[in-house]
Amino acid sequence: MSLLLVFTLIRIITRLHTGCSVKVKVGETDIEFGSTIGVKQGDTLAPVLFLFVIQAAAETLEPIWPAEPLEFSWKEKGRVSGANWRTKGKVFRFISSFYADDGAFLFNTRAELEACVPILHAHLQRLGLLMHVGTVDKASKTECMYYPPHRDDVTSAEDTAPVAADATGGCVSFTESFKYLGSRVDCNLQDKHDVCSRIKSAAGAFGALREQLFDSRHFKLQTKKVVYVTLVVNILLYGAECWCLTEDLLARLRSFHHRCLRAMCGVTRWHTREHRIRTSELRRRLRLETIDVYIEQRKVRWAGHVARMGPERIPRKFLTAWVRHPRPHGRPQYTFGHSLNKTLERAGITTVFETWSQMAQDRAAWRARIYGLAEYPTPPWTPPVGGTPH
């Protein structure tokens, strides 16, 4: 989309809102007055216009972008855990990713970052978009993050110094972790901080209802289960579809889940020790699954959703993509592909991508397979005869 088309669209919308009048009927009287507000925040036309503007920003940015785009190799029927760096595949170039009014840009070097930040800031201003920048003493909402090489946690001061965004002193600061859409992204590309943050949030939600509901003997165990799964588990596992869970992180999630089970059943550690009460017995009382099952259901469902995407979609390409670079010595870093294959094995699904992706094309059968992972399955809700109650 060209800038000329955007400005033409703006002129058309301006004419549509010029000389307009609004007629309101009050009782038996029609009151007419002029409308001079135009398109403001909350207007139904505003989101549509923003999509045009942000798309124009993305398309017109590429010709003037001085940095070399990042290249990823991928195969439509490759391996989820990546391929050998010598493996040949199609190449797609990645410059930026836009979601709503947020954007992510990747660079190979700091020199490219310093060259592109002022260009991006000026380009967005041309289209009326604001990129929030700070100063040397004040952090900016727009942030940079440095990802050190694998097994290299040393970060020099030059790598994380603020980057100038304009000639008036505006700059973009660096951060080691930031929160986006409820998930926390860390500079070491691990999920430890995100998992700990979700456990803390879920513990807060559980604690807020503990005295009134979970510790109370006036509520049935099934009522506690419904509230726990609907509220606490969903908060705990928000974003778990993309987690690379090691055994240490799984142990933390299991420990929190088991504490909640004991609290809802009114069982303390003393009771479990003296009366030899197993966690499986508490789960049987509540008809709750292990935390592993809840994670597997979310991850397998998300994997099937991405596998059903067309090959031109970026998430589908990244599912079987890899970077053509020699692997360093030692065990490779634990990736999403390794975690997904481990989850598929636990769920009794083959890890061969061609096989399970073909199975995932049938959404109903795939969901039925996910439903079968549960030890205590809850039947899907169906509306009563006569329609859905209001």
pLDDT in tens, 56-98: 888 888 888 888 888 888 888 888 877 776 777 788 887 778 7
SS3 letters across 246-269: CHHHHHHHHHHHHHHHHHHHCCCH
Which uninterrupted H or E stretch holds 42? none
Strands 143-144 and 171-174, bridge-based pairing? parallel
Neighbours of 237 (CB within 10 A): 20
Structure tokens at 209: 């209802």
Which range (23-27, 113-117, 288-292) has the least confidence?
A: 23-27
pLDDT for 101 equals: 74
Which range (184-188, 253-257, 290-294, 377-381) has the least confidence?
A: 377-381
Q: Is 160 helix (H, G, I), strand (E, B) or coil?
A: coil
Residue 185: strand pairing partners: 178
* Mean pLDDT, range 226-252, rounded to an integer: 91
pLDDT for 42 equals: 65
Burial class (CB in 10 A: 0-12, 13-18, 19+), 319: buried
pLDDT for 390 equals: 37
Which uninterrupted H or E stretch holds 23? strand 20-26
Q: What's the rounded Cα separation, in Å, for the pair 211 and 192? A: 30
Residue 338 has pLDDT above 90, yes or no: no
pLDDT for 156 equals: 59
DSSP code of residue 24: E
pLDDT in tens, 341-355: 888 888 888 888 888
Q: Is 71 helix (H, G, I), strand (E, B) or coil?
A: strand
Neighbours of 127 (CB within 10 A): 16
CA 339 vs CA 245, 323, 345, 347: distances in Å: 6, 18, 10, 12
pLDDT in tens, 125-148: 888 888 888 887 788 888 888 888
Helix segments in 308-352, DSSP class H: 314-319, 336-346
Model-level pTM?
0.79
* Mean pLDDT, range 24-45, rounded to an integer: 75
pLDDT for 387 equals: 46
Structure tokens at 14: 């301006």
Under 8 Å between Cβ of 282 and 225? no
Q: What's the rounded Cα separation, in Å, for the pair 291 and 33? A: 60
Strands 183-186 and 29-35, bridge-based pairing? unpaired
Helix segments in 74-133, DSSP class H: 110-126
Under 8 Å between Cβ of 217 and 266? yes
pLDDT band at 50 (very low <50, low <70, confident <90, very high): confident
pLDDT in tens, 76-85: 888 887 777 6
Residue 385 has pLDDT above 60, yes or no: no
Structure tokens at 25: 């009927």
pLDDT in tens, 203-217: 999 999 999 999 888
Q: Chain-wide mean pLDDT for the chain?
A: 83
Residue 380 has pLDDT above 60, yes or no: no
Residue 259 has pLDDT above 90, yes or no: yes
- The more confident residue out of 388 and 331 is 331
Residue 381 has pLDDT above 70, yes or no: no
